[in-house]
Amino acid sequence: MIGVIDYGAGNLRSMFNAISKIAKQNEQEVVISNDIETLKEASKIILPGVGAFGDVMRNIKQKQIDKFVREWVKKGLPFMGICVGLQVLFEVGYEMGTHEGIGIFKGEVIKFQKATPVPHIGWNQISVVKESPFFTKEDEGKYFYFVHSYYVKPKDFSIVNTLTDYQGEVFTSSVYVDNIFAVQFHPEKSHNNGSEILKKFVLL
């Protein structure tokens, strides 16, 4: 079973539909839940991201999902974060104030400094920094769909899987370490390229 964390911050229907289609083709079930006991039954977890960093973290903490995520990744179980689901894995974010993240990775989440317009909305390319089960050099230059005003700035560059250039400002568009894979773009809105990424996660 694949668990999609619902922390009450937005519409998860498009993500659910995208992952369910792929899961069904591979005889797996998908459940959306904010119940920790239900999520513990999953073999893989997805943390999607809709909303502002502070609002998301407030909802996550209220439901003790931050503690669940820390314990999940510590066990070495497959985990995928999407958009704000990537951002909250870091120590701190500055969207509408200063907010503590889940703190899986050292680093911060900052607003675009030079690039305009903000938010960054639309298709953009990825550049593969290191190979992973999700991205290899063959994926260089592929397009994915982005919607964001903030991006992660890791202290440890070795976790960076891909980079993306938006109007001359280069940012981390995905990270990969052991059992953790997280992306800034929206795979559920990225057509075939996004479906390929979701399929790779489903098949782990």
Distance CA 39, CA 65 (A): 10
Distance CA 83, CA 190 (A): 13
* DSSP state for residue 203 in the 8-state scheme: T
For residue 2 the two structure tokens come to 């694949």
Q: Look up 186 and say whether it is catalytic.
A: yes
Question: Which of 29, 91, 186, 196 is flagged as catalytic?
Answer: 186
Which DSSP string do the residues of 37-83 spell out, in sequence order? HHHTT-SEEEE---S-HHHHHHHHHHTTHHHHHHHHHHTT--EEEET
Q: Look up 148 and say whether it is catalytic.
A: no
Helix axes 53-62, 65-74, angle to 10 degrees: 90
Instruction: Identify which of 88, 73, 74 has the alpha carbon closest to the alpha carbon of residue 9.
Output: 88
Question: Which of 27, 41, 83, 138 is flagged as catalytic?
Answer: 83
Q: Look up 27 and say whether it is catalytic.
A: no
* DSSP state for residue 94 in the 8-state scheme: -
Which helix (H) or strand (E) segment holds residue 133: the answer is none
For residue 61 the two structure tokens come to 């903490």
Question: Which of 95, 108, 148, 188 is flagged as catalytic?
Answer: 188
Instruction: Identify which of 36, 26, 52 has the alpha carbon closest to the alpha carbon of residue 3.
Output: 36
Active site residues: 83, 186, 188
